[in-house]
Amino acid sequence: MKYWPLILGLLPSIAWLIFYLSEDKKPEPKKTLFITFLAGGITTFIVLAGQMFVNNIAIGVGIQEHSPLSFLILGGLEEIFKFLAVYLVISKRPEFDEPIDAMIYMITAALGFAAVENIAATYTSSIQNILETTTLRFFGATLLHTLSSGLIGYYWAKSILTNNSKKILVFGLLLGTSLHAVFNYLIIKYEPVIVPTIFLIIFALFILHDFEKLKKIK
C-alpha cells in the first residue's frame, strides 16, 4: 500500500508523456528523455526553495498572497527554471537537432516537475481522497505544466528558426508565465474543477496546433 502514492503520483506525468511522444514523428532517445524528466523533477526542489524566499520578500513589500502579481511572480519562477533545466542540460546535446525538440523536451521537463508535485500531493492525501487527487492533477496541474512549458518550447523553437531571437523567447516565457498565473487564479476564484479545466482544454487546442506546425518543419 505504501507504494500506491508513488505510482499514482507518477501516473499523470507518464500518461501525458506517452501522449505527447506519440505525436512526435522522430522519437527522441529514451536516455535523453529520462535525463530531461529527471532534470525537471530536480528543479522542483530548487523552485520550492526559491518560491518560499521570494514569497517572503513579496509579502514584506506589500504584495498580497493569491494576488495576480503574486501568481505571476511565483509562476514565473517555475517556468524560468523548467526552461533552464532544458537549456542547461539538453539544448547543447546532438539529440536536440530540430525545432520541435524544443517543445518535446520542455514538455518532458515539465512532466518531471509535475511528477514530484503529484507524488507530494498523493502522499499527503488520505486513502479516501488519493484517487480524486490523482484525477484532479491529471486534468489540472499536470496538464497546465505541459501547456505552459509547451508554449515556451514553441516560442523557443521560433526563436531558433529566426537566428536565436531573444525577444521571441522572452515573449514565450511571458506567455507561459501568464497562462500559469491565470490558471492558478481561476483555481482560487472558482472551484478547482470546472472553470480551470475548461480553460486548459481550450488552451490545449492551441498548443496542439502549434505542435502540428512544428512537426512540418524539418
More reliable by pLDDT, 126 or 21: 21
The grid cell for 142 is: 499536470
Nearest to 71 by CA among 196, 182, 195: 182
89-143 pLDDT per residue, tens:
999 999 998 889 999 999 999 999 999 998 888 887 765 577 767 777 787 889 9
CB 59 within 8 A of CB 65: yes
Q: Would you say 37 and 115 are in contact if contact means Cβ atoms under 8 Å apart?
A: yes
* Average pLDDT for 79-97: 95
Residue 2 pLDDT: 67
Q: Average the pLDDT over 20-37 and give the result.
A: 89
Chain-centroid distance, C-alpha 47 = 13
Average pLDDT across the chain, whole number: 88
Whether this model's pTM surpasses 0.85: yes
